[in-house]
Amino acid sequence: MTPTFRKHKRKYLILIATAIALSTIGGITAYSIVYGSITDRNSVVYIPAGTSLDALMDTLSSHNSISHIRRFRSTASAMGLDKAIRPGRYELHKGMSAKQIVAMLRIGNQTPTNVTFNNIRTLPRLAAILGKQLMADSMEFAKVLLSDSVAIKYGFKPEEFIGMFIPNTYEFYWTVTPADFVARMHKEYNRFWNENRLSKLARTGLTQKEVSILASIIDEETNHTGEMPVIAGVYINRLRRNMPLQADPTVKFAVGDFSLKRILYKHLHVNSPYNTYRNTGLPPGPIRMPSIAAINAVLNYSDNNYLYFCASPDLSGFHIFASTYGEHLRNARRYAEALDKLGIK
């Protein structure tokens, strides 16, 4: 082997080694861009419908959701994310790569969220709560919830419709439409009325919708679940005797003012089908969204001889029960005196 050949051979080997090294470094760099971690912490990102890639980048940057924003954009562009961003609520976890995040956004692999509602008096109020927790706004929800045709579709009169919504915590995708939300609530309503509850229905002499109506009144009568079955027993006793319920909460509903501290004679004469002082039987619909506790109280009502009750004069929120009108008048007088002492008109 001549010296010249050995000299050139050494150059070739150096060049080959350099090329291998560069390709290896390039491969490592390309791998890290696509597969390396770009999240340093867990975070939640909400992506509305119609979000562009630029808007998505702004969202990710403003929430500090991704530590290597340029790396993500390069991967997003290469994988065509700008043409396939799915709206939704996405949970990003520490250690995720650009490719993992892009793939999640492309296929819409969003994480469900818990939606909670309770202690609600009206469907517009429900719409407002849903509008804060889901992608559709309150106006979109109100349009569906207040639609007569939607209520009728599910077998309810418009004034009964609020009774279909069982207050609880449910898991939804953030992108659920108002129509799909109502359809899901109808399934939950049917699931709620299981064989156990239906078996207790005959004892009450009421329909499912009537149970909801009575439960809504009981919810407004007391915050103490322990006395709910007793109050339910009083009302069922009155219904069976065709006596007017004379439930103060229905008068407040008829007047349109639940803040009333004291029901006066002028309130008792308001002309409304919801005024149970003027009308016998149950009102046309629930006066609020009935709670599970109140519905169960009606189904498990106390078998008692009471026909009357009024708030306790100690203003504890509990009630005093009576079997005779004379006894009830004495209890009512004591309560009225307690209000007078406090100057409540």
Q: What is 48-104 written as a DSSP string?
A: -TT--HHHHHHHHHHTT--S-HHHHHHHHHHTTGGG-PPPEEEEE-TT-BHHHHHHH
Q: Which pLDDT does position 206 carry in this prediction?
A: 97
pLDDT > 70? residue 121: yes
Mean pLDDT of 97-109: 92
Helices within 178-299 (DSSP H only) = 178-192, 195-204, 208-221, 228-240, 248-255, 265-268, 292-299
pLDDT > 90? residue 301: yes
Q: Which residues contact 40 (CB under 8 A, 6 or more apart)?
A: 67, 94
Per-residue pLDDT band for 37 (boundaries 50, 70, 90) equals: confident
pLDDT > 90? residue 108: yes
**Torsion sign, CA atoms 151, 155, 161, 162:** negative
From residue 271, give the alpha-carbon distance in Å to each of 2, 153, 253, 299: 119, 30, 12, 31
Q: Kindly list the domain boundaries of the chain, sorted by start residue.
A: 41-111, 113-192, 195-304
Mean pLDDT: which of 38-52, 217-231, 303-317 is highest? 217-231
pLDDT > 60? residue 29: no
Q: Which pLDDT does position 12 carry in this prediction?
A: 57
Q: Which pLDDT does position 112 carry in this prediction?
A: 96
Q: Which pLDDT does position 26 carry in this prediction?
A: 45
Q: Which pLDDT does position 28 carry in this prediction?
A: 41
Mean pLDDT of 296-319: 93
Please count the residues of the chain: 345
Per-residue pLDDT band for 19 (boundaries 50, 70, 90) equals: very low
pLDDT > 50? residue 153: yes
The yes or no reply on domain 41-111 and CATH 3.30.1490.480 is yes
Question: For residues 325, 293, 143 and 210, what is the CA-based torsion angle, rounded to 10 degrees?
Answer: -50
pLDDT above 90 coverage of the chain, percent:
71
